[in-house]
Structures are given as structure tokens and as C-alpha cells.
């Protein structure tokens, strides 16, 4: 299987490193030198309890295989004393320049090479960027999966589509109940996030304890399941934490992320405003808390509830089955039944809050939804913020819905969404409670990792103990030092349809070229002995120009090609590659001169 390495970031990074080295400056990754501040925060003033005696020489290796320098495809491998564990195995959605690619998964080469050492796959929570690549990993090796109940449920659903659910071993874990895997002892710690049943992991090893937060925030008044388990985190901090790997998604945002209760209040106000209208509300299918609170408000208001969108229907069914969601008898109706009720007696909860072109909401906006017609009687709430890159798609849907006469609530001022990730003050709390010796910001683009590193430095962690690693780094940690070993294979493998890794940079470059200027094909049948053209040349173009409107251009092209072929015959050029090159160059320069465009030009010669 061909695997294409992540290109842009890595190459930029090596250039950066090279540039830094050539100027004698420290390599960017090992934290920049900043003047020590005179202020010493309490964090560093408190005396540490004596460390548990450890085998001093034992190091632990951390290999991030995804999630660094990007938002998504989180995956980290830990190795100590010859044992390995993996935390998370997510996917990332393709950038706009990855034409036609459906999703991107980590490169599993390193994991496959070490499959005999791996004791298990631990999952922090059930979002796609943490579980989405599991089926592709399990196609390569068998592994037991450790996750909380909801997380396991979501993974099982996913594996069923791949026919892998039956043969995979699941181990359901519970916060505070330790798991032993090889030389590792792992304690799941409850954290708040935008999906229930999320955990951080305290990973104890002969080298020391590492805390990986997964995605988290700190919600003092969550709708269910309690606050992030601050005491356990503090306990580990007291005992001594070798390293903290913490979520950097919101590291650019000052302050605290608001509580989910705020959304409850915001949505309640809007329900009051929508009194005589049908309510349609779009949100993330995995945000079970949010969906539950919408259902509660609907029940209060005497409205029936329907779900639209495949993932909304599936996720809510599973959440009900596992007891994470409670819908009173007689409340749930199907989308087909919607029109049997007056508008003020229904709420439709739907996918599509990110403007996904095939989602239910998008189809409503373009009048192509099978059961739902949007009109002036609708009150539509988009309970989500656009993820960077999705702004234009969301705007398109909002415009469409407004044009149909619906009232649409989409602005942040209405308090219909809060983030699932910690902002700077929460990140500081996490750092302060766990008091790590070393700090590795994870989950984020480089700018976010960098900001998180600065936040840590502002708390007094020496910059030499802060490391911004990258995918494929081999971070070696011990009580004595942090250093980088020989990097391992890591990268981005593109999935397109059933193909995993069969689309690479050459294919993408061709797709980009074709998308910008189209192509012109030249076909000719030639006599294999004389080189004389027996049929053609025919010119066929796609994605170039309207041929009918550009007859003179295409006639000119035809003559250019004919002349080039004739000249080859006259000059006895018999090497077909040279003939093709000459034809291509002649046509290419003609077309550029006439149109300032450079379509792909494909000469095909058939010998008879």
C-alpha cells in the first residue's frame, strides 16, 4: 500500500529546523529561550513531596502519530520496558486542496512494525478525531479496545459497518478503576467535554506518571455526570507527574469556556420566542447533553420531537439504549409524521450545523429534503459555531433558509453554543493541579501548541521542560531529562472511497491541475513503420472552454498539432516519447498565448 507522507507541515518544519540550525539558534521544537521572569508563581514555590523510588534509568518513549500541527487524527503511542500502549486513533477531514479525498488517517507503519509489543488501544472519548481511524487500524492488526460505555458503543457502531465488530475485544472502563497493561497502570479520570463519558488517562509506568487529558474543559455546572475530576488530578499532582499532554484546541482564547447551562438558558429563551412556530434545531449528533436538553425543553413546551440525519438518528438511538438519553413515552415521532402535527407542537433536531452539503439541513435550505419543507412558519436554530473552513458553507445554508422565509438564529450572541474545549484559564488550572515536570501541548495546529507552551511558561515551567513535538517525534522522557530520539514513520494516509493510501501527491497534483484548467487530449493513429498519421489527430477537451464558442481557438490548435506531427515525420523522429513531447509543447505554448491558461495536455498515439 502506498502511503503518502504529510507534506506541507513536515517540509515547512524541516526548513524551519534547518533555518534555525544554520543560524545557530535553538531548534523551534525545544521551546524558545525567554528571559526568566522574576515573579515565581506559587506553582513552583510549593515543595514537592519526595518522589516514589523509581528505577532511575528507565525512560518512557512518547510517539505522537497524529494530532500535532493539526486539528484531528489524534493518536499517541507510549513505550516503556518493551511494552506499548496506544491512546486514541482518530481521523481528520481533508483540506480543500486534497481533491476528492474523503478522510485522512494516520500512517500505521510504526504500529504494525511493533504489533507484538502493543498491549491495547485506549480511547479517551467517542469523537471522530479520536476514534475515526480505528476500523483501518483493526484491518491491519487485532487489538483489544479500552473505552467507557458510550465510547465503546460508538466504536462498535462504526466497526459494524466494516464487519469488524464481532471479532474485536472491547473492555469497558470506568473512571477511577485502574487497568493494567504490561508495565503500564492506567487510571481513567472523568473530564467534561461536549460528549458524555470522556476521560483523561493517568498513565503510570516504571519511568513515572504521564497524564494525557484527551479533549477536556472544566464545567462547574454541567448538565450531567459531574465536574471534571479535579481532586484526582490534584492527587496525581501531589504524588508527582512526569509529564502532562494537554488539549490545545482553545489555547488562543483567554478566560474560561462557558458552562453548557448557558446554552440551556439561551435555548429556553428562544423556545419562548418561537411560540407559534415549528422549531428546527441543528447541532452535533454526538453532543448527547445538548440533544437531551432540547428534548427536555420540548417536553416542557408540549412539543413532539423528531430526528433528522443519519448520525442523529443512530447516535440518539444508541444513547437511549445505553441509558444516556431519556425521552418520555409518546414524545418521539418520525420525520414522516411531522406534518401530522401543527407547527407549534413539534421540534425537529437535525444534523448539518456545519453546512455539510449532503446534510439534512442543507437539503432543507435547497428545498430538496424529502419530508421537510421550510417556510415562514419555521424557527430555525443553529446550535454550533462553524469550525474554521466551514464558514462559507454555513452562510450558504443560512441565506437559503432566510430566503425561504424562515427565522434563523445563527449568531453567537444568542448563547446557543459553547465550546467543548478548555480556554487559557482552564489550561492553567490543569497545569497547576497536575504540576508536571515536563509539558507537551497536544491536539492543535502549531500556533495553538505554541500559545499553550507560552501559557505553561507563564506559570513558571522552565522553557527547557516544554516541548512542542511533531507527528513522528520520538520523545524520550525520564526523571532526569527530556530529549528527542530518532523519529519514527508518521504521516497522513488519504482515504478515497474504498482506497486507503492509493491517492498520493501525484494523483492530487493531477486533480488540482485538472480542476484549474481542465485538459486537452490529442489522439492519433500512426503507422508504426513510417510514423505517418493514419487517423486523427483528434482533439478532445474537458473542463477547458466551451468548444462551440471557441471554434477559432480549437481550429488553430488542430493546425498546430498537425504541423507538429508533420514535422516529426519530415525529420524522421521515430521515438514516440519525443513526438509526444514536441506535440505537447507546441500545443501548450499556443494555448497559453491565446488564453493565458495551461490545461493538462495528453497526447496519445496508437500504432497500427
| Residue numbers annotated as active site | 247, 421
How many Cβ atoms sit within 10 Å of the Cβ of residue 339?
Answer: 13
**Site for its own copies contains 555 (CB under 8 A):** no
Q: Which is nearer to its own copies, 9 or 249 (CB)?
A: 9
**Site for its own copies contains 450 (CB under 8 A):** yes
Backbone angles phi, psi at 310, to 5 degrees: -60, -45
- State the DSSP code for 377: T
- Choices 104-112, 283-291, 571-579, 599-607; region in contact with its own copies by CB under 8 A: 599-607
Q: Are 523 and 531 in contact (CB under 8 A)?
A: no
Which segments within 155-220 are labelled E, that is strand?
Answer: 170-172, 179-181, 184-190, 199-205, 208-212
Binds its own copies by CB under 8 A, chosen from 519, 554, 569, 573: 519
Helices 230-239 and 424-434 cross at an angle (nearest 10°) of 50
How many Cβ atoms sit within 10 Å of the Cβ of residue 528?
Answer: 14
130 is in an annotated binding site: yes
Residues 345-374 that bind its own copies (CB under 8 A): 365-367, 373
Residues 285-344 that bind its own copies (CB under 8 A): none
- Choices 25-33, 80-88, 264-272, 336-344; region in contact with its own copies by CB under 8 A: 25-33
- State the DSSP code for 70: B
**Site for its own copies contains 36 (CB under 8 A):** no
| Helix H or strand E segment including 516 | helix 505-517
Q: Which is nearer to its own copies, 320 or 550 (CB)?
A: 550
As measured in angstroms, the least distance from the Cβ of 220 to its own copies is: 25
Q: Are 244 and 436 in contact (CB under 8 A)?
A: yes
Residues 522-551 that bind its own copies (CB under 8 A): 523-525, 534-536, 538, 540, 542-546, 549-550
Q: Which is nearer to its own copies, 69 or 153 (CB)?
A: 69
Cell numbers for 582: 514536441
Give the N- to C-terminal CA distance of the chain in Å, as an integer.
Answer: 36
> 482: Cβ–Cβ under 8 A, 6 or more apart, which residues?
243, 438, 465, 467, 475, 476
- Choices 266-274, 308-316, 442-450, 580-588; region in contact with its own copies by CB under 8 A: 442-450
Distance CA 506, CA 312 (A): 37
Q: Which is nearer to its own copies, 333 or 523 (CB)?
A: 523
Q: Which is nearer to its own copies, 307 or 410 (CB)?
A: 410
As measured in angstroms, the least distance from the Cβ of 222 to its own copies is: 28
- Choices 24-32, 203-211, 229-237, 287-295; region in contact with its own copies by CB under 8 A: 24-32
- CA 504 remoteness from chain centre: 19
**Site for its own copies contains 503 (CB under 8 A):** yes
Bin 68: left if φ > 0, else alpha if -120 < ψ < 50, else beta.
beta
Binds its own copies by CB under 8 A, chosen from 7, 8, 177, 334: 8
Q: Are 426 and 227 in contact (CB under 8 A)?
A: no
287 is in an annotated binding site: yes
Q: Which is nearer to its own copies, 69 or 106 (CB)?
A: 69
Residues 92-121 that bind its own copies (CB under 8 A): 95-96, 99-100
125 is in an annotated binding site: yes
Residue tagged 526548513 (cell numbers)? 15
336 is in an annotated binding site: no
If DSSP codes are grouped into helix, strand and coil, which group holds residue 302? coil
- CA 508 remoteness from chain centre: 20
Binds its own copies by CB under 8 A, chosen from 235, 252, 356, 562: 252
Q: Which is nearer to its own copies, 87 or 406 (CB)?
A: 406
Binds its own copies by CB under 8 A, chosen from 28, 225, 299, 484: 28
Binds its own copies by CB under 8 A, chosen from 514, 554, 569, 573: 514
**Site for its own copies contains 6 (CB under 8 A):** no
Distance CA 358, CA 355 (A): 9
Q: How many residues bind its own copies (CB under 8 A)?
A: 94
| CA trace torsion 188, 191, 197, 198 (10° rounding) | -80
Binds its own copies by CB under 8 A, chosen from 82, 226, 254, 328: 254
Binds its own copies by CB under 8 A, chosen from 395, 530, 563, 589: 395
215 is in an annotated binding site: yes
Cell numbers for 509: 497534483
Q: Are 61 and 485 in contact (CB under 8 A)?
A: yes
If DSSP codes are grouped into helix, strand and coil, which group holds residue 380? strand
Residues 558-597 that bind its own copies (CB under 8 A): 594-597
As measured in angstroms, the least distance from the Cβ of 588 to its own copies is: 13
Residue tagged 440518539 (cell numbers)? 316
| Helix H or strand E segment including 407 | strand 407-409
**Site for its own copies contains 425 (CB under 8 A):** no
528 is in an annotated binding site: no
Q: Which is nearer to its own copies, 221 or 505 (CB)?
A: 505
Q: Which is nearer to its own copies, 207 or 600 (CB)?
A: 600
Residues linked to residue 605 through DSSP beta bridges, in sequence order: 524
Residue tagged 495536455 (cell numbers)? 601
| Helix H or strand E segment including 588 | helix 576-595
Q: Which is nearer to its own copies, 269 or 395 (CB)?
A: 395
- Choices 83-91, 109-117, 223-231, 521-529; region in contact with its own copies by CB under 8 A: 521-529
- CA 111 remoteness from chain centre: 20
Q: Are 72 and 248 in contact (CB under 8 A)?
A: no
Distance CA 277, CA 259 (A): 28
**Site for its own copies contains 41 (CB under 8 A):** no
301 is in an annotated binding site: no
Distance CA 34, CA 462 (A): 9
**Site for its own copies contains 507 (CB under 8 A):** yes
As measured in angstroms, the least distance from the Cβ of 254 to its own copies is: 7
Q: Are 505 and 4 in contact (CB under 8 A)?
A: yes
Binding residue numbers = 100, 102, 125, 127, 129-130, 193, 215, 285-287, 417-421, 443, 496
Binding residue numbers for substrate = 285-287, 417-421
Binding residue numbers for Zn(2+) = 125, 127, 129-130, 193, 215
Amino acid at each position: 500500500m502506498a502511503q503518502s507522507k504529510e507534506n506541507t507541515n513536515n517540509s515547512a518544519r524541516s526548513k524551519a529546523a534547518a533555518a534555525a540550525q544554520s543560524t545557530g539558534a535553538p531548534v523551534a521544537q525545544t521551546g524558545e529561550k525567554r528571559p526568566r521572569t522574576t515573579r515565581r508563581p506559587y506553582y513552583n514555590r510549593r515543595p514537592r513531596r519526595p518522589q516514589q523510588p523509581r528505577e532511575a534509568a528507565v525512560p518512557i518513549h512518547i510517539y505522537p502519530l497524529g494530532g500535532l500541527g493539526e486539528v484531528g487524527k489524534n493518536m499517541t503511542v507510549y513505550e516503556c520496558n518493551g511494552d506499548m500502549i496506544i491512546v486514541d486513533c482518530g481521523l481528520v477531514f481533508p483540506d480543500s486542496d486534497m481533491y476528492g479525498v474523503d478522510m485522512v488517517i494516520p500512517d500505521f507503519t510504526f504500529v504494525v512494525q511493533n504489533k507484538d509489543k502493543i498491549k491495547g488501544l485506549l480511547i479517551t472519548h467517542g469523537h471522530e478525531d479520536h476514534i475515526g481511524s480505528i476500523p483501518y487500524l483493526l484491518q491491519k492488526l487485532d487489538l483489544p479496545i479500552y473505552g467507557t460505555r458510550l465510547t465503546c458503543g460508538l466504536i462498535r457502531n462504526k466497526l459494524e459497518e466494516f464487519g469488524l465488530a464481532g471479532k474485536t475485544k472491547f473492555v469497558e472502563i470506568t473512571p477511577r478503576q485502574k487497568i493494567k497493561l504490561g508495565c503500564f497502570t492506567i487510571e481513567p479520570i472523568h473530564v467534561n467535554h461536549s460528549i458524555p463519558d470522556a476521560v483523561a488517562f493517568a498513565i503510570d509506568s516504571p519511568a513515572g506518571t504521564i497524564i494525557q487529558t484527551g479533549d477536556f474543559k472544566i464545567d462547574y455546572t454541567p448538565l450531567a455526570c459531574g465536574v471534571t475530576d479535579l481532586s484526582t488530578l490534584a492527587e496525581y499532582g501531589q504524588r508527582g507527574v512526569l509529564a502532562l499532554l494537554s488539549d490545545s484546541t482553545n489555547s488562543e482564547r483567554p478566560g474560561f469556556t462557558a458552562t453548557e447551562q448557558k446554552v440551556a438558558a439561551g435555548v429556553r429563551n428562544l423556545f419562548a420566542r418561537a411560540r407559534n412556530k415549528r422549531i428546527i434545531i441543528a447541532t452535533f449528533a454526538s453532543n448527547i447533553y445538548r440533544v437531551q436538553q432540547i428534548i427536555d425543553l420540548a417536553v416542557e413546551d408540549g412539543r413532539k420531537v423528531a430526528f433528522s440525519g443519519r448520525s442523529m438518528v443512530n447516535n440518539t438511538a444508541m444513547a437511549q439504549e445505553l441509558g444516556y438519553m431519556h425521552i418520555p413515552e409518546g414524545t418521539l415521532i418520525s420525520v414522516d409524521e411531522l406534518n401530522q402535527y401543527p407547527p407549534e407542537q413539534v421540534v425537529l433536531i437535525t444534523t448539518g450545523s456545519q453546512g455539510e452539503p449532503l446534510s439534512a439541513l442543507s437539503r432543507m435550505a435547497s428545498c430538496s429534503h424529502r419530508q421537510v419543507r421550510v417556510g415562514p412558519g419555521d424557527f430555525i436554530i443553529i446550535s454550533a459555531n462553524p469550525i474554521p473552513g466551514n464558514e462559507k458553507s454555513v452562510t450558504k445554508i443560512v441565506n437559503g433558509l432566510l430566503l425561504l422565509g424562515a427565522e434563523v438564529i445563527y449568531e453567537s450572541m444568542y448563547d446557543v453554543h459553547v465550546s467543548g474545549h478548555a480556554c487559557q484559564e482552564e489550561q492553567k488550572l490543569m497545569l497547576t493541579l497536575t504540576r508536571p515536570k515536563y509539558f507537551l501541548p497536544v491536539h492543535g495546529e502549531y500556533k495553538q501548541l505554541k500559545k499553550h507552551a507560552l501559557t505553561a511558561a507563564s506559570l513558571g515551567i522552565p522553557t527547557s521542560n516544554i516541548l512542542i513535538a511533531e507527528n513522528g517525534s520520538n520523545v524520550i522522557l525520564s526523571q532526569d531529562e527530556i530529549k528527542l530520539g530518532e523519529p519514527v514513520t508518521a504521516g497522513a494516509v488519504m482515504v478515497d472511497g474504498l482506497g486507503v493510501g492509493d491517492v498520493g501527491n501525484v494523483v492530487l497534483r493531477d486533480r488540482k491541475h485538472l480542476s484549474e484548467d481542465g485538459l486537452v487530449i490529442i489522439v492519433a493513429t500512426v503507422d508504426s513503420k513510417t510514423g505517418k498519421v493514419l487517423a486523427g489527430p483528434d482533439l478532445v477537451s474537458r473542463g477547458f472552454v466551451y468548444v462551440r464558442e471557441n471554434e477559432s481557438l480549437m481550429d488553430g490548435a488542430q493546425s498546430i498539432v498537425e504541423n507538429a506531427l508533420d514535422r516529426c515525420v519530415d525529420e524522421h523522429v521515430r521515438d514516440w516519447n519525443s513526438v509526444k513531447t514536441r506535440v505537447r509543447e507546441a500545443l501548450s505554448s499556443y494555448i497559453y498565448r491565446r488564453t493565458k491558461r495551461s490545461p493538462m495536455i495528453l497526447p496519445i498515439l496508437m500504432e497500427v
